[in-house]
């Protein structure tokens, strides 16, 4: 097999895969548009917005030790992210 034959087979294979991806994307878009055509638009009179209760309990209170651990982890992540961004800025300035 020559180099030109190998490149031809590679190019044809890539073209087949790319064509398949384009057809798949087109099918997804088409199915989405068909769904929009056959689905009636919602009206605001049919579905009233439920009122949100402000006195609803979401669960038991969080243990202070667990809250401390969560806060510590978030603070460490915030500091590491700030340190990482500042070193990127210094590299970009040079």
Domain that holds residue 25: 1-41
Question: Is 81 inside a domain boundary?
Answer: yes
Buried b (16+ CB within 10 A) or exposed e, 48-77: eeeeeeeeeeeeeeeeeeeeeeeeeeeeee
Q: What pLDDT is recorded for position 83?
A: 61
Q: Tokens 């300035």 appear where?
A: 93
Residues 35 and 68 in one domain: no
Question: Is 33 inside a domain boundary?
Answer: yes
Distance CA 73, CA 80 (A): 11
Residues 2 and 36 in one domain: yes
Q: What is the pLDDT of residues 60-93, one digit of tens each?
A: 888 999 999 999 999 998 888 876 565 555 555 5
pTM: 0.40
Q: Is the pLDDT of residue 7 over 70?
A: yes
Question: Is 48 inside a domain boundary?
Answer: no
Residues 36 and 67 in one domain: no
Its sign, for the CA torsion 25, 28, 31, 33, is negative
């Amino acid at each position: 097999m020559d180099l030109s034959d190998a490149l031809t087979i590679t190019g044809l294979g890539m073209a087949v895969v790319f064509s398949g991806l384009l057809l798949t994307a087109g099918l997804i878009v088409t199915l989405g548009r068909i769904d929009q055509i056959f689905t009636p638009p919602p009206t605001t009179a049919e579905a009233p917005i439920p009122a949100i209760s402000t006195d609803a309990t979401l669960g038991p209170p969080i243990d202070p030790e667990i809250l401390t651990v969560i806060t510590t982890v978030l603070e460490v992540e915030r500091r590491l992210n700030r340190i990482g961004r500042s070193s990127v800025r210094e590299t970009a300035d040079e």
